[in-house]
Amino acid sequence: MSLAGRRIVLGVSGGIAAYKAVEVCRRLVDAGAHVAPVLTEGALHFIGRTTFDALASEPAHVSLWDDPHPIPHTHLGQHADLVVVAPATARVLGLYAAGISDDLLTNVLLATRAPVLVAPAMHTEMWEHAAVQDNLATLRRRGVLVVEPEVGRLAGGDVGAGRLAEPSRIVAAAEAALAPQDLAGLKVLVTAGGTREPIDPVRYVTNRSSGKQGYALADEAAARGAQVTLVTTISRPVAAGVEVVPVETAAEMAEAVLGRSDGCDVVVMAAAVADFRPAAIADRKLKKAAGVPEVVLEPTVDILAELGARKRPGQVVVGFAAETERIREHAAAKLAAKRVDLMVANDVSADDSGFEVDTNRALVLDAGGGVEELPLLSKHALAEWIVDRIAASLGEDPHPLA
């Protein structure tokens, strides 16, 4: 994982969301990072340093004047691989944007050349204030990464924008900030979700795909520098900068994918595309009183086969095979028939793998005859593994588009 062995300064500023920084700290440490917490005086009003002393990789730093190191801000800043500020209050954002250092955390922010990731949290009125947005715009222009706050319950019972992003989002953003940029300059197209084939204006034929694996692949490719287009049937949060193309049916997905694939270096077909669709769509809702309707099915466009037929030298095409039996046999047949580079097969009949859950077991076959059986992995970890393979394939025969 990209956080293993990395030194991360975790800045915690004085907002009620400071309690969530404990979970951010724990997750970073669990991912293998060395975490040095830096707490502002305001943060200490909401959470004690003893908590971070116990959970982080080293005791919490709280002051320029009583730290064990004689110059703590330069020491922390120079040795950091990444600085994360969660929560980042309006005060800290304003001081950072203005280049003012009046405590240890703001000194560290000005003394580091490491990437900086801020996760703002504040009440809605503060978040929407022009000064705060101007400060964020300034920081973004300077290359600071921002994990946008969420809409939800705030202190005092209010509901609105400004709620600190969930710790999982913040840690994922930290991973992305430190990911290798081995796909920089490449164009990657990913598909996600299950297509919906209408029977009438109300009903449709679909499958159980949640789209989680496709979104994880899009996030991973974007984190590693690719220009990513995601063609999807569902709506989920996705990494900043990813172009999202919403579709619904197999025909719409075919049009979106095949119309863009020639301009892409990598195409990953993670979507569960329907093999069949109703040959005729009723123009009004079918009524139960009219009896059981006869639904005649016809095949949909085989997008993966078309991609394999069009594949140009140097382009990498990855297919997915959702199977319930004879996994290797069916995956090998699909790999040969579709003429793609990699086939990722998973057993969707298992409770802990495939549709709707956050984990996957994969059997990966390549066009050269290689087979690798992967253990149970999170879909994020599997996405990282697949992108590693893609990057290696491009490295062996690189033909990025101009």
Give the residue numbers annotated as catalytic, written as ranges. 207
Residue 128, helix vs strand vs coil? coil
Which long-range contacts (C-beta less than 8 Å, at least 24 apart) are formed by 331-337?
A: 331/363, 331/365, 332/365, 335/365, 335/366, 335/367, 337/305
In this structure, how many other beta carbons lie within 10 angstroms of the beta carbon of residue 56?
A: 23
Pairing of strands 243-246, 227-232: parallel
Q: How far apart are CA 200 and CA 282, in angstroms?
A: 5
In this structure, how many other beta carbons lie within 10 angstroms of the beta carbon of residue 347?
A: 17
Q: Scan for tokens 């195409």, then name that residue.
A: 267
Q: How far apart are CA 378 and CA 363, in angstroms?
A: 14
- Interior angle at CA 160, CA 154 and CA 164, nearest 5: 55
Beta-bridge mates of residue 198 = 204
In order of 212, 233, 246, 386, the CA distances from 243 in angstroms are 17, 14, 10, 20
Residue 193, phi-psi category: left (phi > 0), alpha (psi -120 to 50), beta (remainder): left
Handedness of CA 203, 204, 209, 211 (dihedral sign): negative
Pairing of strands 276-278, 297-299: antiparallel
Q: What is the largest CA-CA distance in the chain?
A: 84
Residue 40, helix vs strand vs coil? coil
Q: How far apart are CA 275 and CA 300, in angstroms?
A: 5
Q: What is the 3-state secondary structure (H, E, C) of 273-307?
A: CCCEEECCCCCCCCCHHHCCCCCCEEECCCHHHHH
